[in-house]
Structure 1
Amino acid sequence: MKLNRRAFIGTGAAAAAAMSAPHVKAGSHGRPRVVVVGGGAGGATAARYIAKDSKGEIDVTLVEPTRMYYTCFFSNLYIGGFRELSSIGHTYGGLAKQGVNVVHDWAVGVDRDAKTVTLAGGGVLPYDRLVLSPGIDFVDGAVPGWDVTKQNKMPHAYKAGSQSELLKAQIESMPQGGTYVMVAPPNPFRCPPGPYERISMVAHYLKNNNPTAKIIIADPKPKFSKMALFQDGWERHYGGMIEWLGPDFGGGNVTVDADAMTVDVDGEAIKADACNVIPAMKAGRICEMAGVNDGNWAPVIGHTMQSRIDENIHVLGDASSQGDMPKSGFSANSQAKVAAMAVRGALTGSKVFPAKFSNTCWSLLDTDDGIKVGATYKATDEKIAKVDGFISQLGEDDALRKTTYEESVGWYAGITSDMFG
């Protein structure tokens, strides 16, 4: 079967062919080359596993502009005062020690015919396989009155690091009795429980430092991940502090004025002392540059995480459109291992096993009050499909909730070690 890079549909037969095809023989350049763009949960994991498990047979280059990577997962705990910022920051020395060539630069172009990636600094990286794991960007005009030029006044803090520091500082500077407003995003978006864990962490801080403050959430969605669990926790820990405005109460009709620090919800202007605007999201821009997007996201074949548009490109994590898995760090890490195995199989002829995936999303409501939701998944010809799942229950005792939180801390240590070595 001859596969066309610009029209790779990814039917079951095509996926099977991609998994069983003879491996690529290196040409005059020597070892086959893999370029990975994006050094988060998907990209760092993929780069590490390809380099580690190929035992030097594949040349692996990771392109990531930042030298210190801050995880979005657990950044809410920093905002709530449960973590230091340094505890969620990670460098790439461990990957370099395992044979990954780490290039700190921006990828600004992909030539799929020449199979090259262009860097902002002028370099050009050839590849036999390309892995894109750029995370998210924001949809222009998603929240009227807001764009990225307003992010210093109304931070999104959905790319961790300086934005997290800024939002935390604004919350700490709120006057007594002030108002914090969140504009929540529409589906699909990175980390479905994330905005609501953030509300919990903001409330935790305010309860202890500004107990008469108010929190307002303007939400375009009629429901959200772990909704009953969050609302139960808000009532138990922060009774009367948090007001959620769904679409029936104008949450889907919002405009903002960053200069005036106002949020208009269905015609009613709310003065905000701190405002967290989380816009609608899309795949990181390099996916659009590479021409592998279908709308806002990049469709992939679940068996291998290959792009449905170009079989020489794999797309991981938040940027991918793959089926039932949520956009989370755990998901990206799980998908990266499947992609790494497929890449090694294609380039070295190593065995490729059927793809299996898992995900868990933990959230902290208050001190030692942790909840979780998760599932296992399998690849089908149509999508990554949910097999079974679990979720914390209302009314769990304090000991179980504490154990759930401690479990999340152990997971964080494990996944960051798995990502960065």
Structure 2
Amino acid sequence: MTLNRRAFLGTATAASATLAAPMVRAQAKPRAVVIGGGAGGATAARYIAKDSKGEIDVTLIEPTRTYYTCFFSNLYLGGFRTMDSLGHSYATLAATHGINVVHDWAIGVDRDAKTVSLAGGGSVPYDRLVISPGIDFVDGAVPGWDLSTQTAMPHAYKAGTQTELLKRQIESMPEGGTYVMVAPPNPYRCPPGPYERVSMVAHYLKANNPTAKIIIADPKPKFSKQGLFEEGWQKHYGGMIERIGPDFGGENVSVNAADMTVDIDGEVVNADVVNVIPAMKAGAICDAAALTEGNWAPVSGHTMQSRLDENVHILGDACAQGDMPKSGFSANSQAKVAAMAVRGALTGSRVFPAKFSNTCWSLIDTDDGVKVGASYEATDEKIAKVDGFVSQTGEDAALRKATYEESVGWYAGITADMFS
């Protein structure tokens, strides 16, 4: 399966072109409100506005004026991308598609009155609501760490200032210093993400601090693309990376930000950089709207509607939907299904059976790219995996380079699909 910018956008255009023209309404336009301007929310807002051809009034609520993608942010740490290349504006969504972009925090949802409360005051009414807030962190998931310590021990799992902070800390490590990552338990955003990050940190250190050490304290017995990463670490960074899994204490970890130590099953490690990636949950607005069960928001795969409120659709990292991983590609794919369902509900346009796809690329070293992906379909119980693919160990350099170049084309394509 090969994707580039033109192929990615062409597929999206073909899908939207199959939709029937919306019904003409004499009354006021129906209102769709989208909370969250990432891969799910920005895509949903764009497709609802574009494909309804002005028949739906669309409002996008997003606090940041420039959105930095979490996907590809590891490549910034490795020196393969600039931070500016990860930043995207909402100007085109407003100017081209007539979307009302509100830069504020959504702090509450009155599901009876169908309104969204804003931190700056006032509220926004809706007929259909789409929520795509990404992730927040589970309090107490790593003893000794909370949001008050994220400056000393950054998570960098929400891109932007945290990513820049982590990079500065890595660049400031003393010769022969130690970087410790506390990896998250399942489920979490971007399953290969922590291990691509280790690869990119190792890439930087190999060139600039070759006697430095990387330790991963991991609560999971296995992780996405494990064989591929371990092969790559041995090939490119032999002796630099040590992973401590649950059998050796990786699930019994605490940290002390004051003295920069990590306790791994009773053994205290003095660290120069500690990258804590805690357990995750749905973005806080889902809890505020009483749309979660446990840490995540359950949805129907057919329409991405909340199983607790048919007037709300929940996308991406925040939702519990079945087999799809939490990724930018997944959120973008789910957003198109939700957008079609919202148009159908508000204008009477035809709704086609839901289909989904996902691919996650990872860069291990220069031109050494790997990927994993699958296609999915909706059942009454969940979004179910239909088939899949994954890079293989021992692949030749030309294929790995092509895989990396494919990921660059995909990034250009998905960000255009979100923001153009």
Name the TM-score, length of structure 2 as normaliser. 0.94
Structure 1 residues 26, 120: closer, same or farther in 2, change over 3 A? farther
Structure 1 residues 24, 121: closer, same or farther in 2, change over 3 A? farther
For residues 58-73 of structure 1, what are the structure 2 equivalents within 5 Å?
Answer: 58-73=56-71
Partner of 1:20: none
Task: Tell me, in whole angstroms, the C-alpha distance in 2 between the residues paired with 1:379 and 1:308.
Answer: 14
User: Is the 8 Å Cα contact of residues 185 and 219 (structure 2) preserved in structure 1?
Assistant: yes
Query: Partner amino acid for 1:292?
Result: L
Q: 1:40 aligns with which of 33, 38, 41?
A: 38
Partner of 1:125: 124
Query: Partner amino acid for 2:217?
Result: A
SS for the counterpart of 2:299 is: strand
Task: Tell me, in whole angstroms, the C-alpha distance in 2 between the residues paired with 1:203 and 1:26.
Answer: 58
Q: For residue 414 of structure 1, report the CA deviation from its aligned partner.
A: 0.1
CA deviations on 1:142-165 (whole Å, 9 max, x unpaired) are: 000000000000000000000000
SS for the counterpart of 2:369 is: strand
Partner of 1:287: 286
Partner of 1:159: 158
Structure 1 residues 148, 26: closer, same or farther in 2, change over 3 A? farther
Q: For residue 25 of structure 1, report the CA deviation from its aligned partner.
A: 10
Task: Tell me, in whole angstroms, the C-alpha distance in 1 between the residues paired with 2:25 and 2:363.
Answer: 49
User: Is the 8 Å Cα contact of residues 220 and 251 (structure 1) preserved in structure 2?
Assistant: yes
Task: Tell me, in whole angstroms, the C-alpha distance in 1 between the residues paired with 2:133 and 2:263.
Answer: 32
Q: Identity of paired residues, percent? A: 79
User: Is the 8 Å Cα contact of residues 154 and 275 (structure 2) preserved in structure 1?
Assistant: yes
Structure 1 residues 253, 159: closer, same or farther in 2, change over 3 A? same
Q: 1:86 aligns with which of 84, 89, 105?
A: 84
Q: 2:93 aligns with which of 92, 95, 100?
A: 95
User: Is the 8 Å Cα contact of residues 372 and 389 (structure 2) preserved in structure 1?
Assistant: yes
Structure 1 residues 389, 186: closer, same or farther in 2, change over 3 A? same
Task: Tell me, in whole angstroms, the C-alpha distance in 1 between the residues paired with 2:35 and 2:350.
Answer: 25
Query: Partner amino acid for 2:71?
Result: F
Query: Partner amino acid for 1:63?
Result: I
Partner of 1:7: none
Partner of 1:4: none
SS for the counterpart of 2:308 is: coil
Task: Tell me, in whole angstroms, the C-alpha distance in 1 between the residues paired with 2:316 and 2:23.
Answer: 25
Query: Partner amino acid for 1:406?
Result: E
SS for the counterpart of 1:307 is: coil
Partner of 2:224: 225
Partner of 2:175: 176
Pair 1:300 & 2:269 matched: no
Partner of 2:349: 350
Query: Partner amino acid for 2:92?
Result: G
Query: Partner amino acid for 2:378?
Result: A
Q: For residue 94 of structure 1, report the CA deviation from its aligned partner.
A: 1.1
SS for the counterpart of 1:105 is: coil
CA deviations on 1:313-344 (whole Å, 9 max, x unpaired) are: 00000000000000000000000000000000
SS for the counterpart of 1:191 is: coil
Task: Tell me, in whole angstroms, the C-alpha distance in 2 between the residues paired with 1:231 and 1:396.
Answer: 14
Partner of 1:414: 413
For residues 183-222 of structure 1, what are the structure 2 equivalents within 5 Å?
Answer: 183-222=182-221
Partner of 1:3: none
Q: For residue 99 of structure 1, report the CA deviation from its aligned partner.
A: 1.1
**Structure 2 unmatched runs, 5+:** 1-21
Task: Tell me, in whole angstroms, the C-alpha distance in 2 between the residues paired with 1:255 and 1:285.
Answer: 24
Count of matched residue pairs: 398
SS for the counterpart of 2:29 is: coil
Partner of 2:394: 395
Q: For residue 24 of structure 1, report the CA deviation from its aligned partner.
A: 11
SS for the counterpart of 2:38 is: coil
Task: Tell me, in whole angstroms, the C-alpha distance in 2 between the residues paired with 1:315 and 1:138.
Answer: 18
User: Is the 8 Å Cα contact of residues 24 and 32 (structure 1) preserved in structure 2?
Assistant: no
User: Is the 8 Å Cα contact of residues 23 and 349 (structure 2) preserved in structure 1?
Assistant: no
Partner of 2:309: 310
User: Is the 8 Å Cα contact of residues 300 and 321 (structure 2) preserved in structure 1?
Assistant: yes
Name the TM-score, length of structure 1 as normaliser. 0.94
Task: Tell me, in whole angstroms, the C-alpha distance in 1 between the residues paired with 2:283 and 2:234.
Answer: 37
User: Is the 8 Å Cα contact of residues 89 and 419 (structure 2) preserved in structure 1?
Assistant: yes
Query: Partner amino acid for 2:58?
Result: V
Q: For residue 415 of structure 1, report the CA deviation from its aligned partner.
A: 0.1
Query: Partner amino acid for 1:135?
Result: G
Task: Tell me, in whole angstroms, the C-alpha distance in 2 between the residues paired with 1:249 and 1:161.
Answer: 33
**Structure 1 unmatched runs, 5+:** 1-22
Pair 1:338 & 2:337 matched: yes
Q: For residue 224 of structure 1, report the CA deviation from its aligned partner.
A: 0.2
Pair 1:373 & 2:376 matched: no
Task: Tell me, in whole angstroms, the C-alpha distance in 2 between the residues paired with 1:40 and 1:25.
Answer: 30
Query: Partner amino acid for 2:240?
Result: M
> Which portions of structure 1, spanning 4 or more consecutive aligned residues, are displaced by more than 4 angstroms?
23-28
Query: Partner amino acid for 1:242?
Result: I
Q: For residue 122 of structure 1, report the CA deviation from its aligned partner.
A: 0.6
SS for the counterpart of 1:229 is: helix
Task: Tell me, in whole angstroms, the C-alpha distance in 2 between the residues paired with 1:172 and 1:96.
Answer: 38
Q: For residue 26 of structure 1, report the CA deviation from its aligned partner.
A: 7.4
SS for the counterpart of 1:301 is: coil
Task: Tell me, in whole angstroms, the C-alpha distance in 2 between the residues paired with 1:24 and 1:48.
Answer: 19
User: Is the 8 Å Cα contact of residues 150 and 258 (structure 1) preserved in structure 2?
Assistant: yes
Query: Partner amino acid for 2:300?
Result: I
Q: For residue 123 of structure 1, report the CA deviation from its aligned partner.
A: 1.9
Task: Tell me, in whole angstroms, the C-alpha distance in 2 between the residues paired with 1:391 and 1:102.
Answer: 38
Task: Tell me, in whole angstroms, the C-alpha distance in 1 between the residues paired with 2:143 and 2:174.
Answer: 27
Task: Tell me, in whole angstroms, the C-alpha distance in 1 between the residues paired with 2:227 and 2:338.
Answer: 35
Task: Tell me, in whole angstroms, the C-alpha distance in 2 between the residues paired with 1:247 and 1:391.
Answer: 25
